[in-house]
Amino acid sequence: MELSRRTVIAGAAAAGVTAATVGGTAHATGGRKPVKTLFGKLADGTKVYRWSLENGGTRLKVLSWGGVVQSLEIPDRRGRYANVSAGFDNLEDYVAKTPYFGALIGRYGNRIGKGKFTLDGKNYQLSVNDGEQSLHGGTQGFDKRVWDVEPFVKGSDVGLHLYYTSVDGEMGYPGTLKTKVTYTLTRHGDWRIDYEATTDKATVVNLTSHVYWNLAGEGSGTIEDHELQIAASRYTPTDAGLIPTGELAKVAGTPFDFSRTKPIGRDIRTSHPQLVTAKGFDHNWVLDKGITARPEHVATLRDPASGRTLKIATNEPGLQFYSGNFLDGTLTGPSGRTYRQGDALCLETQHFPDSPNKPKFPSTVLRPGQTYRTTTIHTFGC
Ligand code: BGC
């Protein structure tokens, strides 16, 4: 939380999240141990748990299914809390019909053209689940796996370590990929994600998080009034299958120019061919900072009505901004209201889509002995 931190923490404590009484050990600086409750059972009887965390004025609920952020609550400028992430209130909907609400995405965030790539002279065919393309890891990506979850309280931080091992050949990808994702809520209420992975054979990896944001609160309607800034002068235009053409096009003079803050709705109905193809924004922005050793600020999202803001920092070179184009009013959120086109948006930090087939894009290859490491930090304010 950037502003009125003290007030917010006091407010959260007064609101009395039952966490501490159920299983948490109160921490001197406010970080309480995450609390686990049963969320549902899969068809084969596997139990899926929901973990509740709170720190620095941010409340987070995470499922062992897909590492899903099921709820993320932050206050507005008057201290009123809202869940700003779209999702469901039951496991059945997550299993049957989620468009990746809140999920961890792997092994490869976004699309790989025709699900094919060649690495070290070997051809690989991945699971295809989006027309001809492989999207977000294939039919059974990391969003549809049960993760092992380990809670922690470390200094003033609270969080969860999430583990998933993807076997050699899963969804067509080579190598056993051992994945560890850490969700941390800091004492400032920031939500930090640290991704780590190792492999025993050369492979490709591109992990991300698929939270659908609506800073006015999920179920409250369109995000077209939200203001967005993305620190990028170029983006990657796509073909009809939403696969990058390979060009790094300038955003200047196009609807894709978010280098200075503007409302999302301002240019979304422009008949730019790229907007028509994708039914709105669904593109990768080439972040001006490039790959960095440490996370750097890349985007700011703001809802003027509530005053809630989200700032994103990452060490990744790309950001997919998806304006919820395929939400069609058929899914109902925890608020009991349906999600229609543009009722939530995603900001996915990543390497560029289809990098395994684009030698000029930054490489997504991971080899034995190397450790994949990326970090994304979400800072909330009001
Ligand atoms: C992609 C969209 C896709 C959506 C699925 C986004 O990351 O960019 O094209 O439809 O995920 O929910």
What's the pLDDT at 149?
A: 98
Per CATH, is 1-382 categorized as 2.70.98.10?
A: yes
Output the CA 279–ligand 1 centroid distance in Å.
Answer: 11
Q: Whose CA is nearest to atom 9 of ligand 1?
A: 282
Output the CA 214–ligand 1 centroid distance in Å.
Answer: 16
Chain centroid offset of residue 204 CA: 19
Sorted by where each begins, the domain ranges of the chain are 1-382
* Ligand 1, pocket residues at CB < 6 Å: 99-100, 110, 242, 282, 320, 322, 326, 346, 348
User: Residue 257: how many CB atoms within 10 A of its CB?
Assistant: 16
CA 322 to ligand 1: nearest atom? 8
Give the Cα separation of 289 and 232 in Å (integer). 8
Residue 65's alpha-carbon distances to 42, 49, 143, in angstroms, are 9, 8, 7
Within 8 A by CB and 6+ apart from 208, the residues are 104, 105, 109, 110, 320, 348, 349, 350, 376
Output the CA 94–ligand 1 centroid distance in Å.
Answer: 16
Q: Whose CA is nearest to atom 5 of ligand 1?
A: 99
Nearest residue to 143 via CA among 175, 97, 178, 176 = 97
Output the CA 132–ligand 1 centroid distance in Å.
Answer: 15
CA 278 to ligand 1: nearest atom? 9
Q: Whose CA is nearest to atom 10 of ligand 1?
A: 326
User: Residue 77: how many CB atoms within 10 A of its CB?
Assistant: 14
Q: Looking at the annotation, which residues are catalytic?
A: 210, 348
pTM score of the predicted model: 0.93
Instruction: Give per-10-residue mean pLDDT for the chain (382 aa).
Output: 39 32 36 93 98 98 98 98 98 98 98 98 98 98 98 97 98 98 98 98 98 98 98 98 98 98 98 98 98 98 98 98 98 98 98 98 98 98 93
